[in-house]
Amino acid sequence: MKRGFRRRLPGVLVLLLTCSVHAQDPAEYFKQNCVSCHTIGGGRLTGPDLQNVSERQDAEWLVRFISNPKAMIDSGDPYALELLDQSRGVVMPTPQNITPAFARELVALIQEESAKEESQFRGLQISDAPFTAMDIARGKAVFEGRVKLTNGGPACVSCHNTAGLGGLEGGRLGPDLTLVFERLEGRKGLAAWLLNPATVTMQSVFSEQPLQQDEILPLVAYFEDRSKKSAIAPANTASFRFFLLGLFGVIVALALFDILWKKRLRSVRRTQVLDAANEVLHGR
Amino acid sequence: MDVRSQVSMVFHLDKCIGCHTCSIACKNVWTDRKGTEYMWWNNVETKPGTGYPTRWEDQDKYAGGWTRRRDGKIELKSTGKGKIVFNIFHNPHMPSMDDYYEPWTYDYQNLFNAPEGPDQPTARPISMITGEHIDVESGPNWDDDLGGSPVYAKNDPNLEGLSDIEREQLMAIERLVFFYFPRICNHCLNPACVAACPSGAIYKRGEDGIVLIDQKRCRAWRACVSACPYKKSYYNWHSGKSEKCILCFPRLETGQAPACFHSCVGRIRYLGVLLYDASRIEEIAKLPDEELIDAQRSMILDPHDPDVIAAARKNGVHVSVIESAQISPVYKFVKEWKVALPPHIEYRTLPNLFYVPPMSPVMAASNGATVNHVSSDFFHDIDDSRVPLQFLANLLAGGQTGKVRYALRKQRAVRLYRRAETVGDVSKEDAAQALKDADTSVDEVEAIYKLTSLCRFEDRFVIPPMHREEAIEMIDDPHERKAAAGFGFMESPKRGA
């Protein structure tokens, strides 16, 4: 039995090694890392639509580009520069844990998906028809957390602010989202982002509890409405309002203490002396 | 019957001359340390006056002592299990430094070191707390001898219930009157300070009833400071512990009278053991105001009664302590003669320091526009005394003038009787009538006279043997303790746990 195990050992090791290198399914990887900027057959987001990308460039070029986009741009590759121009200067970040072998797998995946009638990476399809007031109102409710997120994610307002929230406004941890609609270049880009947020912070919060389609659409409506109504992000007036509120709170608390401990011991001797002095001065 | 022994005291106010020797003796022995500058475990007040701390008797402000609820039970005014939670960070009834006074010394060095100038150098007052120059605004006996009386004497809480005319007469020329009121811790039977302490640091010694603060267990809550209606517990700002009169227990244990007693010039102080029934404390503390004095007297037991002696022995009271109780001067003043009264019994702490109310000075008689300074009637009727009876009653009898009148009549009878005996300008018949009026007898009057005027040291101070050698055996092996204990503090009182 012992000998049998030894004989099998090299095979087990090889298996373990391959597992650790290609731990991920390319489709899963694509979903996590690529869909916020790319679709397959869904049109351009920040990055180009990847349908039939292998027809535009050969596989070797694609693998090199995926492995290190910045290096390709810096090397002055004409097609890479063209892409940079198309994405208005946004450099594609180097994908996580990428190896040439895995890049090749990704290219294969794209080719395979391109052939399909409807790729699973087509992205959210949003019509260009104007949103209704109800959409916007629901979006605001979702943003403010009055409607709870189906998968249990935290409400946007806990970290983000937009113009026109009123009261104490939204959180200050994340960036102001008033103009996010413009930053992410419209409905598609915004929806793709919301479907699969690309920053580390958002990912850690929403990867386990992603937003649902019926939450994303109203949110997009809301953000579109916000960005149309205010040309610039609002100035930070909340901190002053916080100060005023704090001041008011302190005054209320002090008044409350004064009432609550009304019978506390105040100065005995000094009051007595002052009273007597008053009596002499004013003959009371 | 749960018989216990209590070291008790009588202060004979008629003999007090207000010299403050007692205060100084106490200060020099116990409170000349840093943090205790403002403490006067013994102080002497002028009455009428507001005392120390200012208006300490005003429990609407200081919230000291017990209060009787409608259901007949008593509770602390200042704190309680519920109240203490809300006041955990701030005790709302704490006297401020201004209500005591900011202790000061003088810049004596300036007298020697001042640069040459046009004037004599002076020693300006310096705060003993901050070390800065201060303007002295108040002191521990600021209203001594009616000093500043429109401010202080006028605000004496004991003036309550007096008519405006009576109040004015107190201050009027040829009628003006005051007396002295020395105070120490009363070592009460129902002490509010012990009840209030959240740390359980204050305790009443089983063998003699002295109330002490364990400096190791005190956690500076200062609940005792506000709970004590006599304001005789003080907070030491340096050590972070509260301190109070310890009735000089180290002196008592070695058979000496406490420092203030020992040094008393007027010999006004008496000390002795009382046997009392501890099982009745709660029941008595709950009684209505007017029943308190009689009830407290009834709680004090006759040390000659065989039943009491047997019960005391059964409770572990030493024979020598019982013998001491049998010759206790306090027992005579309080229980037999009923001339000594507890201060502010309405606080319901059942104090063990009793006061013989003072006789007032002779009244001046006005004859038309002239005032005769010498009255023909030296021994005027008690109800005509300069100090209104109501004032004394508020101070010493929970407002009952009857108790004060009784005590003063008896003292008057003693004087009339002795006058008839020695000088002869009072007729024997008048003296006999006075004895009858005062509910007393020749023997009693002679005894009062002897213990008041001719008393020796051992008559005034009947100090029971403390039997420390027995008490310590309960906790430690005496030989071991003797070997282990050194000089000075084993654990000095320090701030914190």
Of B55, B62, B96, the CB nearest to A272: B55
Nearest Cα of chain B lies from the Cα of A271 at a distance, in angstroms, of 10
Going by pLDDT thresholds of 50, 70 and 90, the confidence category of residue B142 is: very high
3-state secondary structure B75-105: EECCCCCCHHHHCCCCCCCCCCCCCCCCCEE
CB atoms within 10 A of CB B279: 12
Asked if residue B399 is part of any domain, the answer here is: yes
Q: DSSP readout, B361-423?
A: PPPPEEETTEEESS-S-TT--GGG-SS-HHHHHHHHSTT-HHHHHHHHHHHHHHHHHHHHHHT
DSSP reduced 3-state for B1: coil
Domain that holds residue B332: 1-104+140-497
What integer is the mean pLDDT of B344-350?
96
Q: Which residue from A minimizes the CA distance to B54? A: A269
Res. A5: pLDDT tops 60? no
CB atoms within 10 A of CB A270: 15
Residues of B in contact with A273 (CB under 8 A): 137, 151
Helix or strand holding residue B451 (H, E): helix B442-453
Q: Which of A51-65, B43-57, B136-150, B280-294 has the lowest mean pLDDT?
A: A51-65
What integer is the mean pLDDT of B429-435?
93
> Contact B266/B16 with Cβ under 8 angstroms?
yes
Asked if residue B127 is part of any domain, the answer here is: no
- Report how far residue B294's alpha carbon sits from residue B338's, in angstroms, rounded to the nearest whole number: 10
Residue B301 DSSP code:
E
Res. B497: pLDDT tops 60? no
Res. B485: pLDDT tops 80? no
Q: Kindly give, in sequence order, each residue whose CB lies less than 8 Å from that of residue A242, ignoring residues fewer than 6 positions away.
A: A168
Residues of A in contact with B99 (CB under 8 A): 265, 267-269
- Report how far residue B16's alpha carbon sits from residue B29's, in angstroms, rounded to the nearest whole number: 21
Residues of A in contact with B143 (CB under 8 A): none
CB within 8 Å: B61 and A265: yes
Q: Which of A29-43, A153-167, B186-200, B459-473 has the lowest mean pLDDT?
A: A29-43
Residue that has been written with the tokens 């103009």 in this structure: A179
What pLDDT score was predicted for residue A55? 82
Going by pLDDT thresholds of 50, 70 and 90, the confidence category of residue B450 is: very high
- For chain B, what is the mean pLDDT? 91
A54 φ, ψ (degrees, to nearest 5): -70, -15
In whole angstroms, what separates CA B289 from the centre of its chain? 20
Name which of B264, B99, B281 is nearest B190 in CA terms: B281
Asked if residue B43 is part of any domain, the answer here is: yes
What pLDDT score was predicted for residue A16? 46
A109-157 pLDDT, tens digit per residue, is 888 888 887 777 777 777 778 888 888 999 999 999 998 998 888 999 9
Which amino acid is residue A107, in one-letter code?
V
Going by pLDDT thresholds of 50, 70 and 90, the confidence category of residue B468 is: confident
Residue B428 DSSP code:
H
CB within 8 Å: A272 and B99: no
What pLDDT score was predicted for residue B358? 95
Asked if residue B492 is part of any domain, the answer here is: yes
Of B62, B152, B155, the CB nearest to A265: B62
Length of chain A equals: 284
Nearest Cα of chain B lies from the Cα of A225 at a distance, in angstroms, of 51
CB atoms within 10 A of CB B50: 28
> Contact B324/B464 with Cβ under 8 angstroms?
yes
Q: Is the ipTM of this complex over 0.85?
A: no
Task: Give the pair of three-digit tokens for residue B408.
Answer: 């003063």
Nearest Cα of chain A lies from the Cα of B239 at a distance, in angstroms, of 24
pTM here is 0.73
> Contact A184/A193 with Cβ under 8 angstroms?
yes
- For chain A, what is the mean pLDDT? 81
> Contact A110/A26 with Cβ under 8 angstroms?
no
Q: Which of B68-72, B207-211, B275-279, B491-495 has the lowest mean pLDDT?
A: B491-495
Residue that has been written with the tokens 């746990």 in this structure: B497
Asked if residue B95 is part of any domain, the answer here is: yes
Asked if residue B118 is part of any domain, the answer here is: no
Mutate to test the interface with A, among B50, B62, B99 (most CBs of A within 10 A): B99
DSSP-assigned beta bridge partners for residue B470: none
CB within 8 Å: A268 and B53: yes
Asked if residue B253 is part of any domain, the answer here is: yes
3-state secondary structure chain A: CHHHHHHHHHHHHHHHHHHHHCCCCHHHHHHHHCCCCCCCCCCCCCCCCCCCHHHHCCHHHHHHHHHCHHHHHHCCCHHHHHHHHHCCCCCCCCCCCCCHHHHHHHHHHHHHHHHCCCCCCCCCCCCCCCCCHHHHHHHHHHHHCCCCCCCCCCCHHHCCCCCCCCCCCCCCCCCCCCCHHHHCCHHHHHHHHHHCCCCHHHHHHHCCCCCCHHHHHHHHHHHHHHHHHCCCCCCCCHHHHHHHHHHHHHHHHHHHHHHHCCCCCCCCHHHHHHHHHHHHHHCC
> Contact B466/B208 with Cβ under 8 angstroms?
yes
- Report how far residue B444's alpha carbon sits from residue B450's, in angstroms, rounded to the nearest whole number: 10
Name which of A159, A156, A149 is nearest A215 in CA terms: A149
Residue B210 DSSP code:
-
Name which of B285, B321, B397 is nearest B6 in CA terms: B321
CB within 8 Å: A265 and B96: yes
Provide the number of CB pairs (under 8 Å) joining chain A to chain B. 50
- Report how far residue B210's alpha carbon sits from residue B207's, in angstroms, rounded to the nearest whole number: 8
Going by pLDDT thresholds of 50, 70 and 90, the confidence category of residue A20 is: very low
Going by pLDDT thresholds of 50, 70 and 90, the confidence category of residue A238 is: low
A113 φ, ψ (degrees, to nearest 5): -65, -35
Of B90, B99, B226, the CB nearest to A268: B99
Mutate to test the interface with A, among B50, B90, B141, B155 (most CBs of A within 10 A): B155
Beta strands in B224-357, from DSSP E residues, in sequence order: 233-236, 241-244, 269-277, 300-301, 353-356
What pLDDT score was predicted for residue B364? 61
Helix or strand holding residue B74 (H, E): strand B74-76
Q: Kindly give, in sequence order, each residue whose CB lies less than 8 Å from that of residue B233, ignoring residues fewer than 6 positions away.
A: B185, B193, B213, B224, B225, B227, B242, B243, B244
What pLDDT score was predicted for residue A125? 73
CB within 8 Å: A276 and B62: no
Task: Give the pair of three-digit tokens for residue A78.
Answer: 């004409």
A184-226 pLDDT, tens digit per residue, is 878 888 888 888 887 888 888 888 888 888 889 899 999 998 8
Res. A233: pLDDT tops 70? no
- Report how far residue A265's alpha carbon sits from residue B63's, in angstroms, rounded to the nearest whole number: 9
Residues of B in contact with A266 (CB under 8 A): 61
Name which of A124, A117, A103, A115 is nearest A59 in CA terms: A103
What pLDDT score was predicted for residue A7? 56
What pLDDT score was predicted for residue B362? 67
Domains and their CATH numbers in chain A: 2-115 (1.10.760.10), 133-229 (1.10.760.10), 238-282 (no CATH)
Q: Which residue has the higher pLDDT, A122 or B341?
A: B341
Sheet of B353-356: strands edge to edge?
B300-301, B269-277, B3-12, B353-356
CB within 8 Å: A272 and B155: yes
CA angle A47, A48, A50 (to 5 degrees): 120
Residues of A in contact with B138 (CB under 8 A): 269
B199 φ, ψ (degrees, to nearest 5): -95, -5
Interface of B with A (CB under 8 A): 50, 53-55, 58, 61-63, 90, 92-96, 98-99, 137-138, 150-152, 154-155, 226
Tell me how many domains chain B contains.
Answer: 1
- Report how far residue B78's alpha carbon sits from residue B88's, in angstroms, rounded to the nearest whole number: 13
- Report how far residue B341's alpha carbon sits from residue B396's, in angstroms, rounded to the nearest whole number: 6
- Report how far residue A219's alpha carbon sits from residue A225's, in angstroms, rounded to the nearest whole number: 10
What integer is the mean pLDDT of A59-64?
85
Cα-Cα-Cα-Cα dihedral sign, residues B395, B396, B399, B400: negative
Res. B188: pLDDT tops 70? yes
Going by pLDDT thresholds of 50, 70 and 90, the confidence category of residue B127 is: very high
| pLDDT > 90 fraction of chain B, expressed in percent and rounded | 77
Averaging pLDDT over each range in A50-64, A216-230, B410-424, which range is the top one? B410-424
What pLDDT score was predicted for residue B226? 95
- Report how far residue A162's alpha carbon sits from residue A226's, in angstroms, rounded to the nearest whole number: 7
Going by pLDDT thresholds of 50, 70 and 90, the confidence category of residue A231 is: low
Separation in Å, CA B182 to CA A138, A244, B123, B156, B354: 80, 56, 31, 16, 11
Of B93, B99, B226, the CB nearest to A269: B99
Q: Which residue from A minimizes the CA distance to B53? A: A269
- Report how far residue A209's alpha carbon sits from residue A155's, in angstroms, rounded to the nearest whole number: 12
DSSP-assigned beta bridge partners for residue B68: B74
CB within 8 Å: B90 and A265: no
Asked if residue B310 is part of any domain, the answer here is: yes
CB within 8 Å: A276 and B151: yes
Res. A19: pLDDT tops 70? no
Task: Give the pair of three-digit tokens for residue B262.
Answer: 């020992």
CB within 8 Å: A269 and B154: no
CB within 8 Å: A265 and B138: no
CB within 8 Å: B154 and A276: yes
